[in-house]
Structure 1
């Protein structure tokens, strides 16, 4: 089933024409719990990984424990985060000769890994050959909140506008009008009209705190946003405009519950970064090897 983000209840660019030059396209991945195969795009699913290619290991062999717990010594296999086939997200930039994006990270990525850079791999699916049967088991002490559960995807292009990333001069120009809109309609620009929450490609990072765009260590330019992985697909405020139509209760407008009271769309990947924060992955598209960096935050 496709997932459809509701049309914004107001025309953002008509109300705030200053934002028109700042619009960016994002791809909401809309993960939902499932059993994807290596041949499918997924969050947290098995990767189309060559059987004869070594599985990536975190460069650090010393991961400090949290809250007084013992640390983890020895090799830590990276865990799958996202796999994207070009056929499913043709809007995504794939270098020539590639049609598969794979993102992995250390399961201690939040606060406990001294070598935290994720791995971003692009390859040609047609040259993979025999596929690895299964990834190495995750170390028992790894925090579950940083290991995405297997999900199938329902990619959807949407338009992002900046909130935390809004230039100061633009914020000053539109601030009064945004407050008037909130008083009149209850719509908070940052919650309801700006950038898409959840797990997405491109657009603006869905920051929980002040932005922290990394610079490329090779060329020095500001890197490009590749992927946001948030703890929740929406929250108690943003569901009004970001909960897909297919997941809504026709009477309340809130998420439709299953027989056990569960909400399939709220946190399908079962990740939790700090206190409902996110991990943001960046790459430099000006450098041939596309250096990668990341940031994370929490509320």
Structure 2
């Protein structure tokens, strides 16, 4: 990319793709949806805020009960090359309330929380509580082991400054015509569940956020998606181990075969019928506050 478009070099970021696959992780493992190394002397987080049963559309019924948060991601620093852990920590934990939150129907999604820890401080581990029996379908991840892979990304086209887009637009279009590759799908941001890097956005920038508290730039922390690849991005982002034995190309995305399902939606998440949850953090504030966004595909 930088040989072809050296102007993009300052926008390069490293991301860590987690490549979750259904398994039986323990609290000693990095995982998606697995048990957490949670201190026995720290109460498990509960959600008492207003939340709903709904599908992200118009109809919503309030869910009255206080519910335990459910594990979404646990990541040890040893499995996370390039991820900037806060000083003194080596463990990232992300949980969320599996019921939908928010006022606008198409923006409702689970409410996340983030914890950074030092593994050595957790001497006794609290048993991870069971998920709420009435949690919405597709809002609680199936326990998965992860296979972290560090990749280099460049921002989505809408996240490139306008002046730079104008400068390279003709060259990018000519390259797409000659190569058959698409900048968004094949060359910019990785799809799937990932830590850091650039968010894989939509019509409008998701990169240049500022912290509501201090005004400094916020950084993409985590994306949790409903699909690890799609009918186009497989060409550069689908691992060789997950590709079909024959040259079926994008048919693997549409296939209902066991192999395709394991690669496409291993954690079983289908938030509000098929959306992605994005977490952004401020690294300037000492407590690294986190904001989240939801996009319904």
What's the TM-score once normalised by structure 2's chain length?
A: 0.88
Cα distance, 1:74 vs structure 2 = 2.2
Cα distance, 1:97 vs structure 2 = 2.1
Aligned match of 1:93: 84
Q: CA distance change for structure 1 residues 109 and 215 in 2, over 3 Å: closer, same or farther?
A: farther
Q: Paired residue for 2:151, among 149, 152, 158?
A: 158
Cα distance, 1:53 vs structure 2 = 1.4
Specify the SS of the correspondent of 2:278. Answer: strand
Q: Counting helix residues as a fraction of each chain, which structure ranks higher?
A: 2
Native 8 Å contact 2:16 2:81 kept in 1 = no
Q: Paired residue for 1:124, among 112, 118, 121?
A: 118
Aligned match of 1:33: 22
1:37-186 equivalence runs, <5 A: 37-63=26-52, 65-66=54-55, 68=59, 70-109=61-100, 111=102, 118-140=112-134, 142-163=135-156, 164-186=158-180
Cα deviations by residue, 1:249-275 (Å, 9 ceiling, x for unpaired): 243164598975643111111112346
List runs of 5+ in structure 1 lacking aligned partners.
Answer: 1-11
Native 8 Å contact 1:229 1:280 kept in 2 = yes
Aligned length: 287
**Which range is displaced more, 245-254 or 150-159?**
245-254
Instruction: Return structure 1 stretches of 4+ with deviation > 6 angstroms.
Output: 112-116, 256-259
Q: Are 1:252 and 2:224 matched, yes or no?
A: no
Q: CA distance change for structure 1 residues 109 and 225 in 2, over 3 Å: closer, same or farther?
A: farther
Cα deviations by residue, 1:56-101 (Å, 9 ceiling, x for unpaired): 1124044364553532012122111110011111421122221111
Q: CA distance change for structure 1 residues 292 and 129 in 2, over 3 Å: closer, same or farther?
A: same
Native 8 Å contact 1:209 1:298 kept in 2 = no
| Alpha-carbon RMSD | 2.5
Aligned match of 1:197: 191
Cα distance, 1:109 vs structure 2 = 4.4
Q: Are 1:14 and 2:3 matched, yes or no?
A: yes
Q: CA distance change for structure 1 residues 263 and 78 in 2, over 3 Å: closer, same or farther?
A: same
Aligned match of 2:229: 234
In structure 2, C-alpha distance between the alignment counterparts of 1:62 and 1:243, rounded to whole Å: 36
Native 8 Å contact 1:273 1:297 kept in 2 = no
In structure 2, C-alpha distance between the alignment counterparts of 1:88 and 1:169, rounded to whole Å: 38
Native 8 Å contact 2:242 2:260 kept in 1 = no
Specify the SS of the correspondent of 2:66. Answer: coil
Cα deviations by residue, 1:80-135 (Å, 9 ceiling, x for unpaired): 11100111114211222211110111213465798965211011112212212232
Q: CA distance change for structure 1 residues 82 and 183 in 2, over 3 Å: closer, same or farther?
A: same
Aligned match of 2:282: 284
Q: CA distance change for structure 1 residues 217 and 139 in 2, over 3 Å: closer, same or farther?
A: farther
Q: Counting strand residues as a fraction of each chain, which structure ranks higher?
A: 2
Aligned match of 1:9: none
